[in-house]
Structure 1
């Protein structure tokens, strides 16, 4: 799973970095860059969340524990 995490982080750095911002500014202007970067931030936030759940699920299965709906409910209700 380390290689997948590195890939996500590299894509995030490449697509959301300063060089990409500069290129997108020339292509579509500042408003275009803001919209694209906001969409990319949401995309990568969801990608990291899915990655987190996959790792959590695999770790639980490797240890013989069950990971399902109740565990997700505990994660959601825990901080409250």
Structure 2
């Protein structure tokens, strides 16, 4: 049975590898992205994880797309403060 998985910061690096692994296992995978473009083959949702409004919108978009709420969350997004 497929699960709905959200990987924050899943457009590159470790997050992208995690997202691809869940997809290989047959799960429905969504990734959030902010500054890097979304990866092909995965459902991408533009989201600034420091914004509660954008987080709520991302979860709603994922549930609408897959027809089921997020069951697994991988909190991988990095947050930096611009200097």
TM over 0.5: no
Quick check: which one's strand share is greater?
2
| Bigger Rg, which one | 1
Quick check: which one's helix share is greater?
1
Query: Relative contact order (C-alpha < 8 Å, sep 6+): which is higher?
Result: 2
What is the TM-score normalised by the length of structure 2?
0.29
